[in-house]
Structure 1
Amino acid sequence: MATQTTLTSQGLKDLEERLEHLKSVTRKEIAEKIKVALSFGDLSENSEYDEAKNEQGIVEAEIAEIEATLKNAKVVDEDELSTEHVNIGNTVVIEDESGKKIKFFLVGSKEVDMKAMKISDESPIGKACIGRKLGEEVSVEAPAGVKKYKIVEIDK
């Protein structure tokens, strides 16, 4: 049985757009590569054909994975999102013991983007913060040891 994946509405939109692009653009590009490679003749020593077929397999696997994720997705209703407790869809600011603040957006595991500070609910920080209230202290297991943070802001 497939596990349910929690997504924000933006995460759902991003996955749907990625799926549409893979199906409508990427598949056609790969089909063209295969067609060109077939025109070279002998397939036994045709690296272009092998590469295109490999790429096709990777894309088809990604399409299947996205379709399974969308089929089992639970979308966070942003109108019902609270700022009382940390949950997927919240922007959270935590402060370490030295006063350094970290701001992140808590997302489901399929939406992680460290450059945009979209942190998974399954990450150590996400797990520690989920369900916690403003002002609560959380302990995060890190490679360098346990780090303590205080939740200083929860926004929608």
Structure 2
Amino acid sequence: MASVEKVPMLAEGYEMLTTELKALRQERPKIVDAIEEARAHGDLSENAEYHAAKERQGQVEATIADLEDKMSRAQIIDPTTLSGDRIVFGATVTLLDDEDKPVKYQIVGPYEADAKKGRITYNSPLGKALIGRKVGDEIEVTVPSGDRFYLVEKIEFV
């Protein structure tokens, strides 16, 4: 039997999945009620409420299964317990871009990445380029808009 591939995740990312899963599980009985109510209206072939409720039920069940899978494979990492001089999962990194402007990113898992919040996944082009680097390293990353150059200025574990 193949081993389950663990996916690194911060505790807050795991908590977000837990919250979403709980909300969906609470929605289940409401969907069943909506299906029963729509059934009571008679002919199911032309019953839009019934079809909408059944479709929502399918979406909710698929999302619940997906969340349960993600959570079962989660390897929760607390960045405050990490240290060292190299960039690893969970590290917060300050880089200088090609115009010497500082940019700050935290290396996170694929389910918690949000570029607008400065959270990039470890398997993104920049994330891959950063892992294992240390302060003073220059990094070249090819992105859709072209090549970008960065200098690692600071590594924090917060």
TM-score, reference length from structure 1: 0.89
Confirm whether residue 9 of structure 1 aligns to residue 11 of structure 2: yes
- The farther-off stretch of 146-155 and 80-89 is 80-89
In 2: Cα distance, 1:39 partner to 1:114 partner = 47
Deviation at 1:79, TM superposition (A): 4.2
1:82 aligns with 2:83: yes
Q: What do the CA deviations read for 1:93-125 (whole angstroms, capped 9, x no partner)?
A: 211111122212211011122332221111111
- Is 1:103 equivalent to 2:104 in the alignment? yes
How far is the alpha carbon of 1:77 from its aligned partner? 3.5
Q: Give the corresponding residue for 1:64.
A: 65
TM-score, normalised relative to structure 2 = 0.88
Listed as ranges, the gaps of 5+ residues in structure 2 are none
Give the drift of 1:23: 0.9
Residue 110 of structure 1 aligns to a residue whose secondary structure is coil
Q: Which runs of 5+ in 1 are unaligned?
A: none
Runs of 4+ in structure 1 over 4 Å off = none
* 2:48 match: 47
CA RMSD of aligned residues (A): 1.7
Separation in structure 2 between the aligned mates of residue 11 and residue 150 of structure 1, nearest angstrom? 28
The number of residue pairs the alignment matches comes to 155
SS at match of 2:69: helix
Q: What fraction of aligned residue pairs are identical, expressed as a percent?
A: 37
* Equivalent residue letter for 2:153: V
Give the superposition deviation at 1:136: 1.0
